[in-house]
Structure 1
Amino acid sequence: MKSLSSLGTGLGYGARAARHKLAIVAVAAMATLPAQAQDATVTIAALGDSLTQGYGLPPEEGFVPQLANWLAANGHEGVEVLNAGVSGDTTAGGLSRIGWTLTDDVDGVIVALGGNDLLRGIDPANSRSNLEAILAEVTGRGLPVLLAGMIAPGNYGPEFKRDFDAMYPELADRYDAVYYPFFLQGLGMGTDPGAAADLMQPDGIHPNAEGVAAMVADIGPFVAELVERARD
């Protein structure tokens, strides 16, 4: 398993879990809303990998519960976030399950995939095709989407990095997605992965609860924009 420092800002984090079924767990931002407010609940599905799933953390400290809590604390009441993260998943895995993730209850989608494509050195053209198909499926149903990007390390070569890094902003523009450039930018690593050591679990790959809180605080306003689009 490559560490964060070995991949630089590409951030290899995709520990492959031995799981064959995805349990989508609903985390309500406001569990005791009155009936009228519950009728107006906005449901956001977070499609991702181990970072979204909350690998190595108690359920309440993972990305999805912390995001739901952040939204509620910042005035975005009546928001439910669905955990559609699977550890080790690639863009191809996300594409394979996007159809049944988009239940009738879903009002918007966060797409945070691509890190495990990096770990495996998958051709960026394949990753791009998968992400585009996911975005086409979501927007084809009239749903707003937030696309969270990743950054390729330099050791894959300049052409790989160019193509991988470019696909996120280009696809976000094409599908009018809320664009969040780098899913882990809230950790404040910049060009030095070691700067986030205190925010990582002992594996040096996944953020700890404090690290997740930093991620959520940074991406939160972008998710709030997604929620507002879903309400419109």
Structure 2
Amino acid sequence: MSSSNCSRRAVLAAAVGLAAAPTLAAEAKAAPARSVAILGDSITAGYGLPASQALPARLQAELARMGVPARVIPAGRSGDTTAGGAARVDRAVPKGADVCVVALGGNDLLTGEDPSRVRANLDRIVTRLKARGVTVVLAGVQVPPLLGGGYASAFNGAFSSVARKHGVLFLPDLLAGVALNSRLNQPDGIHPNAAGVTVIARRLAPVVAKGLAAG
């Protein structure tokens, strides 16, 4: 093959590549981001923190750091319980959500709610989400070890029981390493500070990424 033919082919290939590049870039830009809702209480709503430091924003940033682009939608409400979440799940989790993190139970624990009711509420929430085709990540709440006893066992078991029943992704303790740590909580000792939220986001993000990959 002559050098002139090679040159012509090289020019044509370059021209085709240049023509295709804007199209590919436009397609990548137009690709919709996956969406993740967080159905929770004041901890997920970011009580005492600016929105930029609340869990939805920190989780979105952590997913991006992992190379998993997603839009995280806040659906937390201060004071909410598993019963409240069950009552509002259909309207709180927007249509089209790919994944929903269910992070409720802290207020149930504070009020000593019957673990069987907690389990029933969680079951209702997960059932509704799965019926809509939403991938569920269930985040548990653990009774502090110093309390122990039968109530602790039953309460902790409510989360794992629902996770097993529905075969959903499960993070046993949303506040692991954060609860009761004064350096990672606000002065009230209950709500994570910005550093505590970062710890939660880093532990939660890999589980959410699995949910996005499976959806």
Q: Pick the TM interval, shorter chain.
A: 0.7 to 0.9
Structure 1 pair 154/67, CA: closer, same or farther in 2 (3 Å)? closer
1:5 maps to what in 2?
Answer: none
* Residue of structure 2 in register with 1:204 after alignment: 189
Distance 2:165 2:130 in 1: 11
**Unpaired runs of at least 5, structure 1:** 1-32
Q: What is the aligned partner in structure 1 of residue 213 from structure 2?
A: 228
Q: Is residue 180 of structure 1 aligned with residue 171 of structure 2?
A: yes
TM-score, normalised via structure 1 length: 0.77
Gapped runs of 5+ residues in structure 2?
1-24
For 1:35 and 1:210, locate their aligned partners in 2 and report how far apart those are by CA, in whole Å. 37
- For 1:176 and 1:40, locate their aligned partners in 2 and report how far apart those are by CA, in whole Å: 27
Q: Is the contact made by 1:186 and 1:219 (CA closer than 8 Å) also made in structure 2?
A: no
Please identify which structure carries the higher helix content: 2
State the match for 1:134 in structure 2.
125
TM-score, with normalisation over the residues of structure 2?
A: 0.83
CA change 1:52–1:34 in 2 (3 A) is farther
Q: What residue identity is the alignment partner of 2:187?
A: P
SS at match of 2:197: helix
**How far did 1:156 drift?**
6.8
Q: Which has the larger radius of gyration?
A: 2
Q: For the Cα contact (< 8 Å) 2:39–2:93, is it kept in 1? A: no
**Aligned length, in residue pairs:** 191
Aligned match for 1:164, one of 143, 151, 155: 155
Correspondence 1:85 to 2:70? no
Q: Which residue of 1 aligns with 2:89?
A: 98
Q: Please say if residues 100 and 137 of structure 2, whose CA atoms lie closer than 8 Å, have aligned partners that are also in contact.
A: yes
CA contact (8 A) 1:186 1:217 kept: no
Contact 1:186 1:218 (8 Å CA) reproduced: no
The 2-side partners of 1:68 and 1:178 are apart by 18
Q: Which residue of 2 aligns with 1:112?
A: 103
Name the % identity: 38
